[in-house]
Amino acid sequence: MNFSHDLMTYAVPVLTKGALSTLKLGLLISVASLVFGVILSFGLAAPNRVLRRLSRGLIAAMRGIPPLILILIAFYVLPDLGVMLSPIAAGCGALIVYFSAYVAVAVRGALDAVPAGQIEAALSIGMTSRARMLRVIVPLAWPILLPALCGLLIGLFKETALLSIISVPELTFETKQAVARTYAPFEIYAMAALLYWAWSALLETLSRKLEAIANRHKNPGTRRRQGASS
């Protein structure tokens, strides 16, 4: 059997496809987790006690259950309750719920970390709650949130590997298929590892750029505007 021939013609396209699929799934789960996480973070501070308890309960559960178990429940248990989901829907749904909880905790923490004096200053000039949120709280919470959030999202990309267990055709699933077909575990797993690493490195770079932008007012010496000396 010609290893290099098989690797080039079979494994590389399959792994590329898997890597793109992982990217797509990762993005989908990230965006959805952000949306639900932000909603859940407001649930954590809701005036309604029932809502607050529900949010806290959901988060506690998500922090205590391994994501793999959630995926298996979504795929194998929900059909018994009459909810039939495709592997992609079940898997993504489970990971979205799982990561939403972590996003919610991070968002809540960042919002609560905005110093009270900043909010009092906004109150004292008469800002409405909406202006306070948009002009003061969010811009100040954002740089606090960003490192935690980026860490979470990078972790999320790697956790999509779990979806292979229910045959979602992402990078790990395709890798296993390719290994079974080519009997070249070393080369193929190495390629898969490098591909995961590439995505993580890309996200890491991106997050560092975002953090630099979010924190620019903290070391403005490098970005003094025109007119500062006028």
Q: Give the whole-angstrom CA distance, residue 111 versus residue 114.
A: 6
Q: How far is the CB of 141 from other proteins (least distance, A)?
A: 11
* Residue 220 engages other proteins in binding (rule: CB under 8 A): yes
Question: Residue 71 and residue 45: Cα distance in Å, rounded?
Answer: 28
Of the candidate spans 6-14, 125-133, 159-167, 189-197, the one that interacts with other proteins by CB under 8 A turns out to be 125-133
50 touches other proteins (CB under 8 A)? no
Pattern 62-91, other proteins, x by CB under 8 A: ------------------------------
The answer to whether residue 128 forms part of the interface with other proteins (CB under 8 A) is yes
Which residue in the set 3, 24, 46, 129 belongs to the binding site for other proteins (CB under 8 A)?
A: 129
Q: Does 126 bind other proteins (CB under 8 A)?
A: yes
**Chosen residue from 49, 125, 186, 222 binding other proteins by CB under 8 A:** 125
Residue 2 or 48: which CB sits closer to other proteins?
48
Select the residue interacting with other proteins from 139, 147, 158, 182 (CB under 8 A): 139
Minimum separation from the CB atom of position 150 to other proteins (A): 19
Determine, following the binding rule CB under 8 A, whether residue 135 of this chain makes contact with other proteins: yes
- State the Cα–Cα distance between residues 96 and 105, nearest whole angstrom: 14
**Is 23 in contact with 161 (CB distance < 8 Å)?**
no
The terminus-to-terminus CA distance of the chain in angstroms comes to 75
**Which residues touch 129 (CB under 8 Å, ≥6 apart)?**
none
Q: Please give the single-letter amino acid code of residue 191.
A: M
Residues contacting 35, CB < 8 A, separation 6+: none
Q: Which is nearer to other proteins, 5 or 223 (CB)?
A: 223
Could you say which of 70, 140, 144, 192 contacts other proteins (CB under 8 A)?
A: 140
Query: Which residue blocks in 65-170 are alpha helix, DSSP H?
Result: 67-72, 87-112, 116-124, 129-131, 138-159
HEC-encoded secondary structure of 138-161: HHHHHHHHHHHHHHHHHHHHHHHH
Binding mask 169-208 for other proteins (x = CB under 8 A): ----------------------------------------
47 binds other proteins (CB under 8 A): no
Side chain identity at 148, as an amino acid letter?
A
Mapped onto helix, strand or coil, the DSSP state of residue 200 is helix
Report the interface residues with other proteins, using CB under 8 A: 115, 117-118, 120-129, 131, 135-136, 139-140, 217-221, 224-230
